[in-house]
Structure 1
Amino acid sequence: MDEKHLVDNGPSILLNIEIKGKKGEIRLSSVYGSYNYLTDVEMPEGEVAKFSCTHCNAHITSDSECLSCGANMVPFYLDMGGKVTICSRSGCKNHVVEFEDLAVALKKMYQEYGLAGKDDFKPDHKITQVEKPVDEKQEIIESGAFLNSYCPYCSKSLIEDNMLKLKIHNGGEGFLLLSPYLNVFTSKSTIFLEEDKTVKDVRCWHCDKSLILKEKKCKKCGSDVVKIEVSARTKLIDFYICTKKGCRWHGLSGDDLYDIRLEDSLEW
């Protein structure tokens, strides 16, 4: 695991890679179901890659063939017993998780993460917040608060299965799933999103209208921002999210900043 280079805001899986005669490194997302990665080599669609360990240089492969495309599957073994296997063909999304003993795996999971499991999309309540002087007239949305989110056009909820769901177009169509908890930055997507690159278009999955606001830019990196609405105590407020993968900036409109503050936000 590579703790220094994050993918989907979490430690990445570092491997050596060889594809179409070119060698380099690849960092895979450790979020199950995410297809995002960082690499220093070109990944032509449909080409089969070879993976090896960065410590011992052993070739990582198996005799199992992908049921979708026929390429060899690449196994990664889990501490709790079992393995996750992914297809070695670039662009193929087939992957499988297997446990040697499901009862043992579940027991270990409960021991480490509790009965509720470990949910990276929820806030870590053990983190203590630093108190800051605030205006008593202002409402404060606390770090870790659940943000009920809505489309600013059709007013329908963007929350599904306790996730903030957005439709994205980025060389293909898919969905981006964000943590709806303030200042929890875990995310995953159903299509590949390159780190440090902006998403081309973000839309409401109900009315299909673009949520990108061209006239407003991210105050941290200058990228386009997405506008949604979230419910505060007294009203719906405009809430902005940067479209650049990995950028954590988010904020409110200038008018709402007079009445509302986001705890530990880069906006203030």
Structure 2
Amino acid sequence: MLKNGFKAVMIIVLALLLHKAAFAASEVVELPPEELAQESVLPVFDKPVSVKNRNVVTAGKFDVDVFYGYAMTEPIANVSKLGLGVYYNWSEEHAIGLFFANNMSGLSDYAKQIEKTPATHLDLSKAPMPKNTIMADYNLKAFYGKMSITKSLVFNTVLYGSGSLGVVQYEHKTYPAVAVGLGQKFYFNRDWALRFDLRLYANQGPVPFLGGSKMHEGTPKPSFDEFQERVLYTTNLDIGLSYLF
């Protein structure tokens, strides 16, 4: 009996406290102007010099890059390519360079699946395939920063936009091409970095399909001039290793 009475008293006390808190929350609290904050304060770092200083200096230096490229939206040709790039950084914001990418031979996995379909009887290797790409590439380095994964490991990062102009060479013809993209570098130290580039290519090129039975197995290989041409768009991801000197 005493225990139940004690519980009832506790419930009443809590209800009164909650009611008082709810009533207090609805009140407007006004503070004198002299007690309000009048200015902002910057964060204080243990080593402000190391935060401000640029660890990786690129101005007046060259970059040499080796990379693997993956054509994310290529339907027929092999999606893999290997490349080499050379860049000159004339400032901390601008760089200009030249890169070359060589396409691997063969068909994409998607094209191989089409060929294996019994109803198609297609031989897609008869279509003209891209062989290599040569582009002049301009980089606008928009942001430089530092990223720490652990207290002892710091990555210096550079985020940049890119614009490229060059050619894409097929087995029978060379076509002009342009590309725009975004890139990111993660520096291990002042010389070596991982480089990632995502680019959208646009170039005139042959459509890898022909009507009728010209693409069927066992038929004579059609002339490359029979393939119609149009503007082709390809999204490409490059992952490589960069050396600054």
Normalised-by-shorter TM-score class: under 0.3
Q: Bigger radius of gyration, 1 or 2?
A: 2
TM-score, normalization by structure 2: 0.26
- More relative contact order in 1 or in 2 (CA 8 Å, sep 6+)? 2
TM-score, normalization by structure 1: 0.24
Larger helix percent: 2
Larger strand percent: 2
